[in-house]
Amino acid sequence: MSSEPRRSRRNGQRGLHVSFEFFPPKNEDMEKALWEAVERLAPLAPQFVSVTYGAGGSTRERTHATVERLVKETRLKPAAHLTCVGASKIEVDEVIRSYKDAGVNHIVALRGDPAGGIGTPYEAHPDGYRTTADLVAGIRAIGDFEVSVSAYPEKHPESASLDADIDVLKAKVDAGATRAITQFFFDNDVYLRYLDKVRARGINIPIVPGIVPVQNFKQTAGFAARCGASIPFWLAERFDGLENDASTRRLIAAAVAAEQVIDLLDAGVRDFHFYTMNKADLVYAICHLIGLRPVAEAHADAAAA
């Protein structure tokens, strides 16, 4: 066993890739917050930044506008999320072509949640893509896109079992997916066990952990309950009693996320996808902690945006 202190290995990490997820803003204030976050995080030279697609395609125009602005005003590589919900193949293909024309070459392909909301039965549009694997194949048929898809270390809530869920992932990979990004999780062993299962199933694309800094514990817990992610007892305990103490909550959130990411680094993970909630500070701090530093060129581009 090395006598070197554990923490010294974590400085100046090489071969790290991070990506940042944003959601399209609804109004001017949110727009301002988004671009401030983009400007702050851009100098860290992420591998890509992704922009979500509202439930049922409700943000189609706003997602497109945000992605287009990223293309035009920054050197960041945007990835546009796209779902199958509530749209015909013709309509979805139109969106895919418009991204191709705008110079976007990365799509995060998703089935999407049922039109009636999480927990109601999912019904494919009669003329639409029936599964995410079909959508992935459709995207690949239209252009030479990089296609990321979702993965669920604790299984998707609609899934009968983790094995059935991994079968769905395998179908997406066979259809041409090049990367999977996981639903957020807090117990790293769950992710590492999942990774073993996925590899044993012959899936070899990167399975990038989705990291959610807990900006608001109550909100995160509510979201976790809906999407089948578990909240460990120790996590709830760490935020216990801090309902009216925002500044301590932020410190705890930073410590929790840093601990999670450092532990994954120690397990050999080098790619991380951060759910930013359009807020930069916590994510920036965690990236700094794991050794990422601003890249001058990326900084100049973001400042010019």
Q: How far is the CB of 251 from ligand FAD (least distance, A)?
A: 27
Could you tell me the two tokens for 170?
């395998």
In which order are the strands placed within the sheet that holds 207-208? Answer: 207-208, 179-182, 146-151, 106-110, 78-83, 48-51, 17-22, 271-275, 210-211
Amino acid at 175: A
Cβ atoms 39, 274 nearer than 8 A: no
Contacts of 267 (CB under 8 A, 6+ apart): 188, 192
Active site residues: 21
Q: How far is the CB of 265 from ligand FAD (least distance, A)?
A: 20
Nearer to ligand FAD, 183 or 249 (CB): 183
Q: How far is the CB of 165 from ligand FAD (least distance, A)?
A: 4
Nearest-angstrom CA–CA distance, 79 and 81: 7
Nearer to ligand FAD, 30 or 55 (CB): 55
Nearer to ligand FAD, 80 or 302 (CB): 80
Please compute, for residue 38, the number of CA atoms within 13 A of its CA located in the half-sphere on the CB side: 30
Binding site for ligand FAD (CB under 6 A): 52-53, 55, 81, 83, 108, 110-113, 131-132, 150, 156, 158-159, 165, 168, 181, 183, 210
Q: How far is the CB of 278 from ligand FAD (least distance, A)?
A: 14
Could you tell me the two tokens for 198?
């996925």
Question: Nearest Cα to 58, choosing from 23, 20, 32?
Answer: 23
Q: How far is the CB of 241 from ligand FAD (least distance, A)?
A: 31
Residue 300, CA distances (Å) to 4, 44, 232, 305 in order: 38, 12, 41, 9
Nearer to ligand FAD, 55 or 205 (CB): 55
Could you tell me the two tokens for 226?
């809906």
Nearer to ligand FAD, 48 or 301 (CB): 48
